[in-house]
Amino acid sequence: MVDPGKQITHWRSGAEEDWAVAEDLIGLGRVRHGLFFAHLALEKAFKAHICRMTSDLPPRVHQLLRLADRVDLPLTDEQRVFIARFDRHHLEGRYPESLLVTLSVDAARQELQAAKEVLVWLIRQL
């Protein structure tokens, strides 16, 4: 049997740890890897919400919008558009041959800031 409290803590702390790595990597100019870890942080935050809702393990998927559709959170249209667009960073991090966009460090910092707003909002909802 799954312990929902432990699962939520696991996913939440994983999200926070991955976020710190994302910030460090962007600070070092490692844009692709930094944004991949930012995506991973959002993914884990959504998975914490799925555990909270279902008292079960989250699905083994990585697409943020698919995860978002499984939770009972009132996402704004703006958040949904951002989440759908931000998914490209999971593809580029996992499959570098499918590079969709090359961002400057400054553009990556802007992406990171937008992702941080979503992450903070998600964590506050837990």
Domain boundaries, position 35: 4-124
| Over residues 31-41, mean pLDDT | 95
- CATH number reported for the structural domain that contains residue 83 in this entry: 1.20.120.330
Q: What is the structure's pLDDT at 91?
A: 76
Helix ranges restricted to H, 55-104: 64-68, 77-86, 88-94
Q: Nearest Cα to 67, choosing from 86, 44, 89, 88? A: 44
Report the number of distinct structural domains present in the chain: 1
How far is it, in rounded angstroms, from Cα 100 to Cα 78?
21
Tens of pLDDT, residue by residue over 76-114, are: 999 999 999 999 888 765 776 766 678 899 999 999 999
